[in-house]
Amino acid sequence: MTVAISGKIDTATVSQFQEAVDSISRDGKIVLDFAGVPYISSAGLRVLLMLRKRYPGNGMEIINVLPEVKEIFEITGFDALLPFQPAREDESVWLNLSLGGFLKKKALDHPDDPMMVYGDEVYTWREIDHAYRGAYHPAYRVLHKDYRKFKRGEQ
């Protein structure tokens, strides 16, 4: 059975969350869809821990966990206790970005991942974003006319 949960799970809402999960049949597997959960407090984590005890092994899974909640799971160590799947990024976010916006997002999300190899040099997303802004932003153009020289530290 899949149950979609939405809204913050905190001290103000945990009793509603507890009642909702208590009303679920204990037969079979339970899948909690957290696509609509932007935050969970320690009170909500306690309810998840109780659910985990009720549905051991493969009996429970949490899907579509947003990055903010995934971070809470990781900080508290619940990532080792709860089987969960992070939310897939919405591809429409990428489609609506300009080239500059796309590069900036990639540079923020994956700054040191390799993006391009030119000869024996490897360029990361952060470096490509800087080069793009250098090529199209007047202030960067003046400071860094030749990005490859800039990267190597040559003047």
Which residues of the chain, if any, have pLDDT below 70? 89-97, 133-155
Residues 23 and 80 in one domain: yes
Contact 115, 121 (CB under 8 A): no
Contact 3, 20 (CB under 8 A): yes
Question: Whole-structure pTM over 0.75, yes or no?
Answer: no
Helix 14-22 to helix 42-54 angle, to the nearest 10 degrees? 10
Residue 142 pLDDT? 41
Picking from 57, 88, 119, the residue at the C-terminal end of a domain is: 88
Name the nearest CA neighbour of 72 among 104, 43, 105: 43
Residues 37 and 82 in one domain: yes
